[in-house]
């Protein structure tokens, strides 16, 4: 199992949670972004900088992930691609994307985009808060406890 992080928009608080989990459980973790991303010195953590461009980081993750890998992303279309390749997605707010629920998440995303385009709603998601970070950390711990091999 490997952890992939869609690091272009991943909040630092979420990256820190991932760093600690990767170290604790000795899980190879790759942060993919089209800009430089700092990672602490570790044999389990690395950054992969990809060229700038629309969805380049997403495509890189989708092409390189393996079955059983976990991808941290808030991008629902990327999560759908991950699930179609036998991986699992985890949103920075703690939502786990699986084969059982990804279609509902895609439909909800599309509906919200349509409502925003029509001007029916104008708000976006609120800023990531401490409760969100805790929800992410809890979900990550549960997932890794069930799916990761201990060092």
pLDDT of 96 strictly over 70: yes
Q: Note the pTM of the prediction, 2 decimals.
A: 0.86
pLDDT of 150 strictly over 60: no
List the one residue out of 83, 90, 101 whose CA is nearest residue 17: 90
49 vs 8 pLDDT, higher one: 49
pLDDT of 89 strictly over 80: yes
Q: Which domains does the chain have, with CATH numbers?
A: 3-147 (3.40.50)
Strand order in the sheet with 29-33: 45-49, 29-33, 3-6, 70-72, 88-90, 96-97
Strand partners, 30: 4, 46
pLDDT of 14 strictly over 60: yes
Instruction: Write the DSSP symbol of residue 126.
Output: P
List the one residue out of 99, 28, 96 whose CA is nearest residue 64: 28
Q: How confident is the model at residue 99 (pLDDT cuts 50, 70, 90)?
A: confident
State percent of the chain over pLDDT 90.
Answer: 72
Computed over every residue of the chain, the mean pLDDT equals: 90
Strands 70-72 and 45-49: unpaired
Give the torsion sign (CA, 137, 142, 143, 148): positive
- Each residue of 117-141: pLDDT tens digit? 777 776 667 788 999 999 999 999 9
Helices (H) and strands (E) in the chain, counts: 5, 6
């Amino acid at each position: 199992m490997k952890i992939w992080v869609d690091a272009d928009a991943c909040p630092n608080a979420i990256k820190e949670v991932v760093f600690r989990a990767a170290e604790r459980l000795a899980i190879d973790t790759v942060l993919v972004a089209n800009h430089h991303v700092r990672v602490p010195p570790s044999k389990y953590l690395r950054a992969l900088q990809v060229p700038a461009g629309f969805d380049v980081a997403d495509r890189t993750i989708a092409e390189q992930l393996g079955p059983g890998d976990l991808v941290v992303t808030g991008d629902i279309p990327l999560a759908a691609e991950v699930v179609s390749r036998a991986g699992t997605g985890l949103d920075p707010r703690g939502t786990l994307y699986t084969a059982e629920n990804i279609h509902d998440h895609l439909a909800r995303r599309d509906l919200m985009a349509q409502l925003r385009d029509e001007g029916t709603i104008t708000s976006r998601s609120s800023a990531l808060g401490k409760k969100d970070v805790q929800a992410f950390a809890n979900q990550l711990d549960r997932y890794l406890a069930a799916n990761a091999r201990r060092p």
